[in-house]
Amino acid sequence: MEEDGEQYFYCVFVDITDEKQLQQRVLNLYEKELSYFAEVSSAEGSIQGSLNVTQGRLETYVSTSEMAVAHIGISYEDTIFSLERSAMDPEIRKRIGSTLEREKVLADYANGKTDYHFEFLRRSNTGSSFWESTKLRSFRNPERTAFQK
């Protein structure tokens, strides 16, 4: 109500079209990347999923039982610890753990670092060993942090 007794309704309209279009492009690129990954990966030798680093949990996960290191709903820390433990070389275990420590990943993202890559000899769940290439990428959208091997 104004001083003269009249009632007014004030509003502000902001055009966020560019921001929404950018969000949609990022989502489309993410989905294309996952699709491409699934297409070029063999069914017996790949893992893919998403870790929500801000909320500290594994949200999606697809793997063969021989290669699995996690399951949906476990914590970020437990997922990374399981990945660490699967490495046969103790030095690689340390590097995975220190590089992917949750607060460090969040700080890295704030500083522009979004990609991580590890190649290491890994123990499968059946006891055999194989070479693995693991790639992880952080995204701005906190609901989608890719965790791929």
Q: Which element (helix H / strand E) includes 90? A: helix 90-99
Predicted local confidence at residue 44, as pLDDT: 54
Question: Please, which residues bridge with residue 120 across strands?
Answer: 132
Query: Within a 10 A sphere around the Cβ of 115, how many other Cβ atoms?
Result: 10
Give the HSE-up count for residue 79: Cα atoms under 13 Å, Cβ half-sphere.
Answer: 27
- Which residues are CB-contacts of 74 (< 8 A; sequence separation ≥ 6)? 57, 58
- Residue-wise pLDDT for 73-122, tens only, equals 889 999 999 999 999 999 999 999 999 999 999 999 999 998 999 999 99
Give the pair of three-digit tokens for residue 76: 């970020």
What are the structural domains, with CATH classification, of the chain? 17-148 (3.30.450)
Q: What is the pLDDT of residues 15-55, one digit of tens each?
A: 999 989 998 888 888 777 766 665 655 555 667 777 788 88
* CA of residue 115 relative to chain centroid, distance: 10
Q: 10 Å Cβ neighbour count for 128?
A: 9
Order of strands, sheet of 48-52, starting from the edge strand that comes earlier in the sequence: 57-62, 48-52, 146-148, 129-137, 115-123
Alpha carbons within 13 A on the beta-carbon side of 133? 2
Mean pLDDT over 125-149 rounds to 70
